[in-house]
């Protein structure tokens, strides 16, 4: 390159470097090579919405810097992702654009790829894919069947919003103030059969493993907190309560025995282990496994059905409206006094999962409110906390409170002496989790078809054989917002029953794209040429095993649910067999969750007019500046409050580095009569060593904001060195210049993961080879062979 003074031109430099990377396939995933160190770094799978926003830029700038850092240190890196292409946003985009969803996501993915390439991210595009490719969504279908066989997918009923006018179910975000987003008519809740994922089977293990993840030191605090939040662990005690007079016998069964012959005891939980004697009632979740036993009689059943059809979702924020159904049953009090009424209420689910809990008004605001509604005294003496009635806000926040260890209420102590003189109830330590099974089916056409056939004869719901996968989704569907276009496609629906060969009808619900996310992290571990085989074959590939577990996930802090469910399903596949090689069932060794990009303290939205457009910034300042600004502005675990001044500061810095380096390249040297600057040179070398040491540590710990500051500081010291040398003479000696150029080389190397284009261009200008990976300073591979 011509080293004559020329100004920093990011557009030209970035185009040239990107072309060079493409030409030498710089980011191709290396073939598995014995014991070479390797790491799979997983960026988040973007929704194929059509545009890369500044939040993506933050996320991928962190992940890319990490990936480039490890490549520079000589490790083999897998850095690739799949587009999350199914789901409602794509369906709505297609409706708005008047095209089929498959055409829509194809276009969106192309555009997003262009944007990401312009930003210079080092993804292996050869391994990228769309989750809506048939070869890919068969993963969802296969996983569905495997989990179904294991009893981890099951059929139940659930409530969905339904618009009579549009004849379609609606997602929560499509219901605006109780009205349909499309026709603005009132929406009602209907009950539908749903396929559910039984994550409850692995809550305990996911909880137990958290301490291991924490000890590993490579799960950051935000990621760990998200896992705890999703889990919603509550510690307490449980005890068995025997049905009292008028208990489950309400339907005519003999006392103490349920209609199915089992003794009627109910295990109840409470986080207030020291206050079980103060219980005044018992609440049971409508999803409790034994609920049928306690909801006897037609009227009660009808009420329960109503409750299950989801009235709660609508009114959950209104404390007065949280449904309570009196079962008429009572349970013996642990204090031996008056027996406790048993009530069904979904308030239990949001706090403790599908369980039964003691209502202790003296200890719990929500319980105090319920006691008041039931006309029960809080405790014998009245008083205590029951005087402070729960407000609606407190009830609404009960969910959040339950997520911490028992919440603020658990810390309340009350020495009211009620336990004295009463025989202590038989309690045992117990734990409950708020997390629970959830529905995975959706009544929409743009999703993975569920591989189930309903026999027209007697076979019922029959699973499609795994060898018959994929069940193909017709690609020419054009959703309009009305009905479910998939259900109207006779060529899709009509089929034969896999069991008896008679006529059958396909399931027309599709899988929620959340289900696709359960496996989206796996296929990039497989070279594209190996993706044809059966999934059993693919999961047995050496390549896949060599890359797993993923060394680090870098994703937004809103990914907690995804990661939690991925951890759950990995354990299921470990126990079933295909992922048995992941002994602890953890798909991710490490996890970094970064916070969002906000502006003026608020979330960015078109509505607020405060959106930052990365394309505009890149066109104006170049990709390196935009990347550097997002890394510099905040620690990943903190919200990045966008400021243009960070962009300007970073742009000025890169300009100065460029100008300074080039000013040194052509400059004349003069040999002084004696060497008076040796101490300055040795100090410069020390500064470089320190910068390398610290930056190495920070990059490895994903503390890029500190790394940027270190590199900026090193640059200040380089300038300071030149100034001090010049203070002792007219010009730099050859030795001085040599030291300075070496230091500038180190600076370029440290910058390479952060601002790869300018760094490589400077490295080249300093006379180095850029046909291969730029090495990290201070590692042996730096020494030329």
CA angle 87, 91, 92 (to 5 degrees): 120
d(CA 430, CA 21): 57
Q: Which of 57, 90, 130, 166 binds Zn ion (CB under 5 A)?
A: 166
Give the phi and the psi of residue 636 in degrees, each rounded to 5.
-55, -35
Q: What does the buried/exposed string (b/e) look like for 519-538 if buried means 16 or more CB atoms within 10 Å of the residue's CB?
A: bbbbbbbbbeeebeeebeeb
Residue 161 or 349: which CB sits closer to Zn ion? 161
Count Cβ atoms below 10 Å from residue 338 Cβ, excluding itself. Answer: 12
Task: Give the 3-state secondary structure of residue 429.
Answer: strand
Q: Minimum CB separation from Zn ion for residue 260, in Å? A: 31
Residue 300 or 455: which CB sits closer to Zn ion? 455
The DSSP letter of residue 272 is -
Residue 502 or 666: which CB sits closer to Zn ion? 502
Q: Minimum CB separation from Zn ion for residue 576, in Å? A: 26
Q: Which of 497, 513, 550, 628 binds Zn ion (CB under 5 A)?
A: 497
Q: Minimum CB separation from Zn ion for residue 468, in Å? A: 15
Task: Give the 3-state secondary structure of residue 40.
Answer: strand
Q: Minimum CB separation from Zn ion for residue 508, in Å? A: 18
Q: Which of 201, 459, 596, 611 binds Zn ion (CB under 5 A)?
A: 459
Spatial CB neighbours of 682, under 8 Å, sequence gap ≥ 6: none
Residue 459 or 735: which CB sits closer to Zn ion? 459
Q: Minimum CB separation from Zn ion for residue 165, in Å? A: 4
Count Cβ atoms below 10 Å from residue 415 Cβ, excluding itself. Answer: 7
Residue 464 or 612: which CB sits closer to Zn ion? 464
Q: Minimum CB separation from Zn ion for residue 161, in Å? A: 10
By the 10 Å C-beta count (0-12 exposed, 13-18 middle, 19+ buried), 445 is classed as buried
Q: Is 483 left (phi over 0), alpha (psi -120 to 50) or beta?
A: left
457 touches Zn ion by CB under 5 A: yes
Q: Minimum CB separation from Zn ion for residue 180, in Å? A: 3
Q: What does the buried/exposed string (b/e) look like for 17-35 if buried means 16 or more CB atoms within 10 Å of the residue's CB?
A: bbebbeeeebbebeebeee
Q: Which of 290, 404, 419, 499 binds Zn ion (CB under 5 A)?
A: 499
Which of 286-294, 330-338, 455-463, 526-534 is the region at the interface with Zn ion (rule: CB under 5 A)? 455-463
Task: Give the 3-state secondary structure of residue 600.
Answer: coil
Q: Minimum CB separation from Zn ion for residue 182, in Å? A: 5
Q: Contact, 291 vs 344, CB < 8 A?
A: yes
165 touches Zn ion by CB under 5 A: yes
- Nearest to residue 482, comparing CAs of 177, 178, 170? 170
Q: Which of 500, 685, 701, 741 binds Zn ion (CB under 5 A)?
A: 500
Q: Minimum CB separation from Zn ion for residue 196, in Å? A: 24
Which of 183-191, 301-309, 369-377, 760-768 is the region at the interface with Zn ion (rule: CB under 5 A)? 183-191
Tokens of 622: 């170049």
- Nearest to residue 695, comparing CAs of 747, 646, 626, 773? 747
Written as one string, the DSSP assignment of 207-222 is HHHHHHHHHHS-B-HH
Which of 39-47, 218-226, 452-460, 623-631 is the region at the interface with Zn ion (rule: CB under 5 A)? 452-460
179 touches Zn ion by CB under 5 A: no
Q: Which of 16, 95, 183, 321 binds Zn ion (CB under 5 A)?
A: 183
Q: Minimum CB separation from Zn ion for residue 497, in Å? A: 3
- Nearest to residue 589, comparing CAs of 20, 133, 40? 40
d(CA 331, CA 333): 6
487 touches Zn ion by CB under 5 A: no
Q: Minimum CB separation from Zn ion for residue 541, in Å? A: 36
460 touches Zn ion by CB under 5 A: no
Which of 39-47, 159-167, 311-319, 513-521 is the region at the interface with Zn ion (rule: CB under 5 A)? 159-167
Residue 150 or 183: which CB sits closer to Zn ion? 183
Q: Which of 45, 92, 109, 163 binds Zn ion (CB under 5 A)?
A: 163
Q: Contact, 234 vs 431, CB < 8 A?
A: yes
Residue 297 or 501: which CB sits closer to Zn ion? 501
**Alpha carbon separation from 678 to 12, 669, 681, 728, 730 (Å, rounded):** 39, 16, 5, 12, 16
180 touches Zn ion by CB under 5 A: yes
* Interface characters, 21-60, with Zn ion (x: CB under 5 A): ----------------------------------------
Task: Give the 3-state secondary structure of residue 157.
Answer: strand
Which of 402-410, 497-505, 592-600, 715-723 is the region at the interface with Zn ion (rule: CB under 5 A)? 497-505
According to DSSP, the residues that pair with 506 across neighbouring strands are 453
455 touches Zn ion by CB under 5 A: yes
Count Cβ atoms below 10 Å from residue 153 Cβ, excluding itself. Answer: 23
Q: Is the dihedral of CA 731, 735, 738, 739 positive or negative?
A: negative
Which of 164-172, 360-368, 402-410, 590-598 is the region at the interface with Zn ion (rule: CB under 5 A)? 164-172
Q: Minimum CB separation from Zn ion for residue 713, in Å? A: 59
Q: Minimum CB separation from Zn ion for residue 455, in Å? A: 3
Interface with Zn ion (CB under 5 A), residue total: 13
Q: Which of residues 736-755 bind Zn ion (CB under 5 A)?
A: none
Residue 213 or 497: which CB sits closer to Zn ion? 497
160 touches Zn ion by CB under 5 A: no
Q: Which of 53, 107, 182, 724 binds Zn ion (CB under 5 A)?
A: 182
193 touches Zn ion by CB under 5 A: no
- Nearest to residue 717, comparing CAs of 693, 686, 738? 686
Contact set with Zn ion (CB under 5 A): 163, 165-166, 180, 182-183, 455, 457, 459, 497, 499-500, 502
């Amino acid at each position: 390159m011509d080293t004559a003074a020329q100004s920093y031109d990011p557009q030209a430099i970035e185009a040239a470097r990107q072309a060079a990377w493409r030409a030498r396939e710089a980011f191709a995933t290396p073939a598995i090579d014995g014991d070479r160190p390797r790491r799979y770094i997983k960026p988040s799978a973007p929704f194929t919405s059509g545009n890369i926003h500044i939040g993506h830029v933050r996320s991928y700038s962190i992940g890319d810097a990490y990936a480039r850092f490890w490549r520079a240190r000589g490790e083999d890196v897998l850095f690739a992702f799949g587009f999350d292409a199914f789901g409602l946003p794509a369906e709505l985009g297609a409706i708005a654009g008047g095209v089929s969803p498959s055409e829509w996501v194809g276009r969106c993915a192309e555009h997003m790829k262009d944007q990401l390439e312009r930003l210079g991210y080092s993804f292996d595009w050869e391994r990228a894919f769309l989750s809506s490719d048939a070869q890919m969504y068969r993963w969802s279908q296969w996983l569905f069947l495997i989990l179904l066989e294991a009893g981890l997918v099951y059929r139940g009923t659930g409530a969905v919003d339904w618009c009579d006018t549009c004849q379609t179910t609606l997602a929560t975000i499509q219901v605006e103030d109780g009205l349909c987003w499309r026709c603005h008519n009132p929406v009602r809740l209907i009950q539908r059969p749903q396929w559910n994922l039984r994550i409850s089977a692995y809550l305990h293990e996911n909880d137990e493993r958290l301490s291991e993840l924490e000890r590993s030191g490579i799960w950051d605090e935000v990621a760990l907190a998200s896992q705890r939040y999703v889990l919603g662990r509550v510690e307490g005690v449980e005890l068995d309560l025997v049905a009292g007079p008028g208990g489950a016998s309400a339907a005519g069964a003999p006392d103490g025995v349920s209609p199915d012959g089992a003794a009627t005891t109910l295990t109840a939980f409470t986080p207030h282990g020291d206050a079980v004697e103060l219980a005044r009632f018992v609440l049971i979740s409508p999803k409790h496994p034994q609920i049928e036993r306690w909801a006897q009689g037609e009227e009660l059943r009808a009420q329960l059905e109503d409750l299950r059809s989801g009235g709660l979702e609508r009114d959950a924020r209104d404390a007065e409206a949280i449904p309570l159904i009196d079962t008429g049953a009572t349970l013996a009090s642990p204090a031996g006094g008056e027996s406790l009424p048993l009530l069904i209420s979904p308030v239990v689910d949001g706090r403790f999962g599908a369980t039964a809990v003691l209502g202790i008004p003296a200890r719990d605001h929500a319980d105090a409110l319920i006691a008041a509604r039931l006309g029960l005294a809080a405790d014998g003496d009245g008083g205590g906390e029951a005087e402070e009635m729960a407000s609606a806000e407190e009830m609404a926040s009960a969910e959040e409170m339950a997520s911490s260890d028992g919440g603020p209420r658990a810390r309340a102590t009350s020495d009211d002496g009620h336990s004295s003189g009463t025989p202590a109830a038989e309690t045992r330590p117990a734990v409950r989790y708020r997390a629970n099974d959830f529905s995975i089916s959706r009544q929409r056409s743009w999703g993975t078809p569920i591989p189930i056939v309903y026999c027209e004869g007697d076979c019922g719901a029959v699973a499609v054989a795994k060898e018959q996968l994929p069940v193909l989704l017709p690609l020419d569907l054009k959703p309009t917002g009305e009905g479910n276009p998939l259900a109207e496609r006779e060529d899709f629906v009509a089929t034969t029953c896999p069991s008896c060969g008679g006529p059958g009808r396909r399931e027309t619900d599709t899988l929620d794209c959340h289900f696709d996310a359960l496996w989206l992290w796996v296929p990039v571990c497989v070279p594209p040429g190996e993706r044809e085989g059966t999934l059993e074959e693919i999961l047995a590939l050496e390549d896949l095993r060599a890359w797993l577990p993923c060394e680090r996930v870098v994703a937004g802090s809103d990914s907690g649910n995804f990661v939690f469910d991925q951890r759950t399903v990995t354990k299921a596949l470990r126990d079933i067999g295909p992922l048995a090689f992941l002994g602890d069932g953890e798909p991710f060794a490490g996890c970094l969750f970064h916070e969002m990009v906000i502006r003026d303290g608020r979330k960015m939205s078109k509505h607020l007019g405060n959106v930052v457009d990365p394309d505009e910034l890149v066109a104006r300042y170049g990709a390196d500046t935009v990347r550097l600004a997002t890394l510099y502005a905040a620690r990943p675990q903190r919200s990045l409050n966008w400021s243009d001044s960070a962009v300007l500061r970073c742009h000025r810095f890169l300009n100065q580095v460029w100008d300074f380096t080039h000013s040194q390249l052509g400059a004349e040297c003069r040999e002084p009569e004696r060497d008076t600057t040796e101490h300055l040179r040795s100090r410069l070398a020390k500064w470089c060593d320190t910068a390398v040491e610290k930056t190495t540590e920070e990059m490895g710990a994903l503390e890029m904001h500190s790394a940027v500051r270190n590199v900026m500081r090193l640059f200040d010291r380089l300038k300071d060195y030149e100034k001090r040398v010049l203070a002792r003479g007219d010009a730099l000696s050859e030795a001085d210049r040599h030291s300075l150029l070496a230091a500038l080389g180190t600076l370029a190397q440290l910058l390479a993961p952060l601002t790869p284009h300018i760094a490589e261009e400077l490295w080249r200008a300093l006379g180095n080879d850029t046909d291969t990976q730029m090495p990290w300073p201070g590692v042996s591979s730096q020494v030329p062979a």
